[in-house]
């Protein structure tokens, strides 16, 4: 559990600094709405991290499908790192409009870091985010 939580914190910090990440959900981050309560009530911040990619649903699918250390999985919380795209997996039966009302965007990604080394996990995620950015068309300004 300690490794799970340490890995989650390293991942949350790295994702929070990446330009393609719109928002990170992790109570260990000072900007998280539950941070102060977590500081008072918890001995750690847990091992789950969620984030919203600043991108399309197709980019999210490409991202989650191409990770080396994170396997696709709906049941999170094991020793192996898992990734879940709720819009296409756990919450796919809920209509998109209702998911949006519930705050579940199509760009939401859930991570359950396992016991691998945090540097490998962070590198895998950053590699995936950079691949999403590289696949985007280059916009040429008109002069």
Which pLDDT tens digit goes with each residue over 3-57? 999 999 999 999 999 999 999 999 988 888 887 888 788 888 888 999 999 999 9
Give the pTM: 0.87
Question: Residue 55: is it exposed, middle or buried by C-beta count within 10 angstroms (0-12/13-18/19+)?
Answer: buried
Distance, CA of 43 to CA of 38 (rounded, Å): 8
The proportion of the chain whose per-residue pLDDT surpasses 90, expressed as a percent, equals: 61
Assign 141 to helix, strand or coil.
coil
Fold of 2-133: 3.90.1150
Least confident of 79-88, 91-100, 132-141: 132-141
- Mean of pLDDT values over 107-136: 95
The residue count of the chain comes to 143
Sketch the domain layout of the chain as residue ranges. Answer: 2-133
- Looking at residue 143, its pLDDT comes to 58
Higher pLDDT, 95 or 141: 95
């Amino acid at each position: 559990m300690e490794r799970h939580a340490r890995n989650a914190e390293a991942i949350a910090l790295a994702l929070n600094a990446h330009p393609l990440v719109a928002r990170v959900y992790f109570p260990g981050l000072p900007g998280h709405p539950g941070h102060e309560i977590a500081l008072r009530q918890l001995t750690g911040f847990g091992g789950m991290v969620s984030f919203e990619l600043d991108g399309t649903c197709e980019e999210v699918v490409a991202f989650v499908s191409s990770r080396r250390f994170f396997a696709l999985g709906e049941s999170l919380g094991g020793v192996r790192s898992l990734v879940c795209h709720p819009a296409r997996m756990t919450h796919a039966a809920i209509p998109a409009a209702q998911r949006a009302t519930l705050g579940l965007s199509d760009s939401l990604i859930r991570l359950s870091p396992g016991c691998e080394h945090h540097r490998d996990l962070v590198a895998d995620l950053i590699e995936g985010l950079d691949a999403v950015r590289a696949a985007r068309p280059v916009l040429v300004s008109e002069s």
